[in-house]
Amino acid sequence: MATRAARYLVSLACAALMALPVRAETGDVAAGEKVFQQCKGCHQVGSGATHRIGPHLNGLFGRKAASLDDFAYSKSFRRAGAGGLEWHADTLDVFLENPRSMTSGTRMSFRGIKDAQERANLIVFLRQFSDNPADIPEADPTAQGADHDLDPAILALVGDPEYGAYLSGECTTCHQAGGTDAGIPSITLWPEEQFVTAMHAYKNKQRNHPVMQMIAGRLGDEEIAALAAYFKDLTN
């Protein structure tokens, strides 16, 4: 009971933390233009932009990765595009933080931008050169995903690890309980809120893997919380 209570307090604390804006809602265009200086050696954007070492970045938002006919993409990028990677504020944010997290074989030799605000600034700068939702309503959002963030109530759910142990059978067919990550990622010892956030990202189809979308799509909020609570402490 003591551990349960402690866990409850911890998850309450996490929930309170997560209820704060996790990143800046908007970036600053002028600051983003400065950040873009780092990209300019290889990429052009704006009126008259053409491919250089990297592809031009006009119309980037909403575009499938590696989809411009007249640019020679790396195999890694072509595979990512074929796998459904599209450029939106959220995917760009992940990519810009560490380009190799998404496309391990990219020729883009860039260490990434660790500062979330700098990335947000760069993203709003680049966003100007894609379709405007006022003219083309289906164009990508310009709000920086405030409403994409998970409902704090979902993050506040306290999972039942016993139920999670039961449900985990579906996961351990592929993900090893011992935590090996060869070929298939490890899902043990994750902080609960990261686990829950990731699973809801599959459920909401923000992450692309079709099997994970299918599995997560069938799980309710309580079930995801239960799995997070179970895998959090799992050591074999």
Partner 1 sequence: MTLNRRTFLGTSAVAAASLAAPMVRAQGKPRVVVVGGGAGGATAARYIAKDSKGDIDVMLIEPTRTYYTCFFSNLYIGGFKEIDDLGHSYGGLAAGGVNVVHDWAVGVDRDGKTVALAGGADVAYDKLILSPGIDFVEGSVEGWDLNAQNAMPHAYKGGSQTELLKAQLAAMPEGGIFAMVAPPNPYRCPPGPYERVSMVAHYLKLNNPTAKIIVADPKPKFSKMSLFEEGWNTHYAGMVDWIGEDFGGNVVSVDPAAMTVSIDGEDTSVDVCNVIPAMKAGRIAEMAGVTEGNWAPVNAADMSSKTDPDVYVLGDASQQGDMPKSGFSANSQAKVCANAVRGALTGSKVFPAKYSNTCWSLIETNDGVKVGATYEATEEKIAKVDGFISQTGESADVRKATYEESEGWYAGITADMFGVEA
Using CB under 8 A, list all residues that contact partner 1. 20-21, 25-26, 131-143, 145-148
For residues 89 and 146, the answer to whether their CB atoms sit within 8 Å is: no
Contact (Cβ atoms closer than 8 angstroms) between residue 222 and residue 157: yes
Shortest Å, Cβ 34 to partner 1: 19
Between CA 181 and CA 131 the distance in angstroms is 40
Smallest gap, in angstroms, from Cβ of residue 192 to partner 1? 22
- Residue placing its CB nearer to partner 1 in the complex, 26 or 101: 26
Q: Cβ closer to partner 1: 87 or 230?
A: 87
For tokens 């265009």, name the residue.
29
Name the burial class of residue 59, with classes exposed (0-12), middle (13-18) and buried (19+) by CB atoms within 10 angstroms of its CB: middle
* Residue 86 main-chain phi, psi, to 5 deg: -120, 155
Least gap, CB of 233 to partner 1 (angstroms): 30
Query: With contact defined as beta carbons under 8 Å apart, do 193 and 201 qualify?
Result: no
Minimum separation from the CB atom of position 235 to partner 1 (A): 35
Question: Is the Cβ of residue 69 or residue 135 nearer to partner 1 in the bound state?
Answer: 135
Determine contact, residues 96/123, Cβ cutoff 8 Å. yes
Q: Please, which residue, 19 or 94, has the CB nearer to partner 1?
A: 19
CB 170, min distance to partner 1, A: 29
Task: Return the number of the residue (206 or 208) whose C-beta is nearest partner 1.
Answer: 206
Q: In the bound complex, what is the minimum distance in angstroms from residue 225's beta carbon to partner 1?
A: 24
Helix residue ranges, H only, the chain: 2-19, 29-36, 75-82, 89-97, 99-102, 116-127, 152-156, 161-167, 169-172, 192-203, 210-217, 221-232
**What type of residue sits at position 85?**
L
Q: Which is nearer to partner 1, 133 or 210 (CB)?
A: 133
